Structure 1
């Protein structure tokens, strides 16, 4: 009977019943969190259909309301077919003579048709690709894109991501700039090799991670950090949960003290390059979560780190790494104070206080002056 059908508060996940709303009022008050809930008479409440983006974590013990994104109505009844982003022939297949000075791998995993679905990752990839091409003069044929909107040879499977990472650094030489970008789910698992100060390995999740497994930070370090030769610079930008030390780089920048902190493995195993420089900007600390949201645009879903980073790089010339970290955190703090300039929404102003808790992390294979070195990809 319709009046007894249960539904959930999308904020605190309190299970309610239509029986508690006999007059079918369009809005009722949740007894768990006092949030005003719009009630649908004909269906069980489905948060996904109301535009709430999930946290970029698969941890079952984390409550998703910590990173609720902007409520918005679904405007499409069926997905649109996207224009392929990879050039033809595929970067996988092209022979480089000579090898280009700039090369990038952009990976966005949306986990379509699963309960882990993310809505902003492909938008993130498109925006990052546009930034590389317009701001940093990367050529489209030198950018390898892995998303579920591409053909099967460019889906972000574990095999394809590993192949792409190998492609990124193969035969790299002096003067080259490389970029690895990932937007998707991230997890962590116990470290049994004494390689991690906190006792956990960080991971990224390919689209087939349930079948093929995750990609560990140890593998990423071995594949794209250790082979870096003198004069080669690699930037990794990872918009995922638990991504703070996803490259296992040995120095972490403390934004408050303006100093580099030690992250060398307790086991003493080498995580260094063979002369090159690896720099990583990640969405949050190793034990924290990152989120997708439409709150900054009011329209499309985006990763918080990706959106703010791209926005600031476009707007500011001669931006240093320290400046960029500060501006990312300032934007998050600004958002959390419910400033109407960021999001002109009474809904957000009322319910989003301190909902974005992530803090971007900067790590590196060697120390440098973050307040003087200009951010360049």
Structure 2
């Protein structure tokens, strides 16, 4: 087929605006439909971005002009919605996390393979200029042989600013599952798949208090660890130390350092598409900045890469295997913290190929 790839957005919550602002500007895709269980919300979002159809999720999946479904539903619905789309012969891109458990994720990957459709998963931030530059430096040997990684995500927690923060502290969330996909995807794209992990988890308080909005002052229970520390070993031999915390008065986010035999590299915040890359060798007194090359267009790059892969008949980069492996790794971290023992990680995935230099979303067309 030729022409823009037909896309449906399923799930019209807050994150849909970030996707739609980009996808409606990329000439390689055409957003055909916006869908939500709340039809009024679907109509409002569709009208805001000039999308011609506002409908239910099932109607959007079966729309004849839809080739790819961008699944932005709540995590608990990711597997169900994605499987329905796959069984209808549609390609699917899931927001993170890929699914909420290993079993549903594995079934989804198997179903997509059997149906002959592509399966993708957020985050796609590793396709942005900052992390693509970091990946090229590692591949070119700028830090020598990669040895270790250090990851820090530390905040006091979102309850001080979020008007409805309770879901951040329930199973399937916490700092590990909320922010872990960004950091772990970055490590896997630089080192390759993880092999085993040892972790410890703590919960500073059994209750938290809503700090803003109409529910300010309301207490709510904490059901997950709010501080997780992990030592992750990779199949190729590297190791990484990771901290994910909602218990720190000191805010320190977007911190990733990769150390090799020749230099240490400072990696941009993995929740962004740009940022600064720095190198520091043993003889350096300061970080040496490295100019970044690539696009900073934002969320939806993974969808566009899938569209290009579909039209050109080649593999895409934000694969379901990558999303499943990151999910599997996060679950293994949680299991290790609970059991106080090393946990083996059974899944694997390929390292995504780098984007071609000069890859420009505004220039990708399928006429």
Q: Same fold (TM over 0.5)?
A: no
Instruction: Judging by fraction of residues, say which structure has more strand.
Output: 2
Instruction: Judging by fraction of residues, say which structure has more helix.
Output: 2
The two structures have a TM-score, normalised by structure 1, of 0.28
Q: Which has the higher contact order (CA 8 A, sep 6+)?
A: 2
Decide which structure has the larger Cα Rg and report it.
Answer: 1
